[in-house]
Amino acid sequence: MTFWQNIIGILSEHGVAFLKASWMTISITIISLLFALIIGIIFASFKISSIKFLNWISDIYIGLIRGTPLIVQIMFLYYGIANFLTLDSFTAGALALSIHTGAYIAEIFRGAVQSIDRGQMEAARSLGMSYPLAMRRIIFPQAFKRAIPPLGNQFIISLKDSSLVAYISVTDLFNTALTVQGENYMPFETYFVVGLYYLIIVLIFTWFTNRLEKRLDVSRPKEAAAA
C-alpha cells in the first residue's frame, strides 16, 4: 500500500477515535487555561505588589514551576501524592497544566502591567481612585490588551504541552496515536495523521486569538482596522 492509502485507511478505521480524542485534548486545554488565567493574574498581582511577602511567594512559585519539567509536575500530581490524595488522570493532568501555564501567564501579565505608563496610575489616584480600583478600571484593561499576543502564543504552547497527559492514561490525541500505531505497526503514518489533527486545532486557536487581538486593538485608526 502507498503512503496515502495508509493514511486513508487509518482515518477510515480510527477517524472517530481521533475525533473523540481531539475533544479530550481541547477540553483539558481549555479547562487548564481558564484556571491558569486565574492563577496567573493572582501571582502577577503578588509580583507587582508593594508587600514583600507576596513578592517572595510569587518568586518561589514562578521559579519552582518554570525550573522543573511539566512531565515531572504531571507525574508528581498523579503518582507522587497518591499516598494521601488520589486524583483521576484527567484532574491530575488539567491541574498540572494549570499550575505550569499559570507561572508563565503570571510573568506575561506582570510585564504587561509594568509596561503601562506610571503616569496613568498617578492620574487615577489624583482623581480619588483607590489603588485596587485604579488597577481594575485603568491599568488591567490596557495590560490585558497588550498581553493578548504573548497569551495567544502561550495558549498554543499549552495545547501542544497537553500531549504529555498521555503518559498518565488520558485518552487525548497523542495517547490515541500511541494505541493506534501499536495495533497497525505504522508509526510514521499514524503520527502524521495525529500531527494533522494537532495542526488543525492549533490553526483554529490561532484564528480565534488573532480575531480577539484585532477586536481589542481599538488604538488603531478605524480606517487601518477596516483595511
d(CA 81, CA 171): 22
Please report which confidence band the pLDDT of residue 226 belongs to, taking 50, 70 and 90 as the band edges: very low
Question: Which pLDDT belongs to residue 223?
Answer: 41
pTM for the complete prediction?
0.86
Q: What is the pLDDT of residues 14-26, one digit of tens each?
A: 999 999 999 999 9
Q: What would you report as the CA-atom Rg of the chain, rounded to the nearest whole angstrom?
A: 21
Confidence of residue 123 (pLDDT cuts 50, 70, 90): confident
- Supply the DSSP symbol for 172: S
Side chain identity, residue 168: I
The string of pLDDT tens digits covering residues 158-215 is 999 999 999 999 999 999 999 999 999 999 999 999 999 999 999 998 998 888 878 7
Cell of 40: 496567573
Q: Tell me the DSSP string of 45-82.
A: HHHH-S-HHHHHHHHHHHHHHHTS-HHHHHHIIIIITT
Q: Can you tell me the distance from the alpha carbon of 79 to that of 90, in angstroms, rounded to the nearest whole number?
A: 13
Tell me what pLDDT residue 1 has: 59
Reported as a single tens digit per residue, the pLDDT across 90-115 is 999 999 999 999 999 999 999 998 88
